[in-house]
Structures are given as C-alpha cells and as structure tokens.
C-alpha cells in the first residue's frame, strides 16, 4: 500500500508543477486573473530567431542580439526573458515598444568552461497573439584556450 501512496503523491506533485508552469507562461493576466486579449499584439523577428555565431576562444564573452518589430497595433511588452542556463545572461527593456517600432533582445554568453559546441535558448514571454512565448536559439563553437 505504501508504494501506491508514494506514486500517487509523486503523480499529483508532477501534475501540480506542470499546471503551475503552464499558468506562468500561458498568457498575460489582468487584475482579475483572466487573459487580457484586448492588449495582445504581434511581433516580427527581423533577425532569424535561430542564429549561429561561429567560433570563439574560451574565455571570450559573446554578445548576442535578436532584433524585432512590433507589427501589431498595441504596445508590445516584453515581460520576461529566461535563458536555458546561467552562462547566458539576458537583457531586456521594461519599456513598451510602440506599434511599428523596433527593439532587441540581448544576451551575453560567457564561454569560460564551455569548450565545444554550445546551443543556447532564450524564452521570451510577451503580450503576443497566439503563443505568448517565443523561443530564440543560438549556437557557438568554443575553442580551447591555447597557452
């Protein structure tokens, strides 16, 4: 009976975590907790959302930037940029991007200790129609330092 209870508890815990994660990225919430679909806009990526930055030497910091345009008719709000690991630190503006205006998502990748191929992801949460999250990826080959 004990293993059954353990599995049941683990299943409920996983389901609860998945629901919490879904709520955290599922949309922009207004004060009442409902999606405010009247404030959604669209985003157009000027640069590719999947980039390859070639080769760098270990120890270098790589500055990456993904340019976009607010292609909708409401202000674009970038709420959060989540990197896939601690070696990538994102920058984001807290200011709304007006319709027709451009902006960029920047990040700094620290290559120290990351020799070899690296594939990094930035998840962007914004008030965009359809999916509220956009996935940006970049690749870089880090070459070992030569002494």
Domain locations in the chain as residue ranges: 1-28, 36-143
Report the pLDDT averaged over residues 91-111. Answer: 94
Give the class (CATH, top level) of 36-143.
Answer: mainly beta
pTM of structure: 0.72
Report the pLDDT averaged over residues 102-116. Answer: 96
Write out pLDDT tens, residues 34-82: 445 679 999 999 989 999 999 999 999 999 999 999 999 999 999 999 9
Tokens representing 145? 């330092």
Q: What is the pLDDT of residue 26?
A: 39
Mean pLDDT of the chain: 81
Beta strands in 32-129 (DSSP E): 43-45, 50-57, 61-70, 78-83, 88-91, 102-110, 116-126
């Amino acid at each position: 009976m004990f293993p059954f209870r353990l599995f049941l508890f683990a299943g409920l815990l996983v389901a609860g975590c998945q629901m919490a994660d879904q709520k955290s990225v599922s949309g922009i919430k207004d004060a009442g907790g409902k999606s405010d679909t009247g404030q959604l806009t669209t985003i157009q990526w000027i640069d590719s959302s999947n980039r390859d930055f070639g080769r760098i030497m270990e120890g270098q910091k790589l500055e990456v930037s993904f340019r976009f345009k607010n292609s909708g008719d409401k202000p674009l709000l970038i709420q959060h940029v989540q990197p896939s690991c601690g070696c990538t630190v994102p920058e984001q503006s807290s200011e709304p991007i007006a319709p027709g205006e451009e902006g960029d998502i920047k990040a700094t990748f620290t290559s120290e200790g990351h020799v070899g191929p690296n594939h990094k992801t930035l998840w962007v949460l914004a008030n965009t129609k359809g999916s509220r999250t956009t996935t940006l990826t970049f690749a870089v080959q880090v070459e070992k330092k030569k002494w």
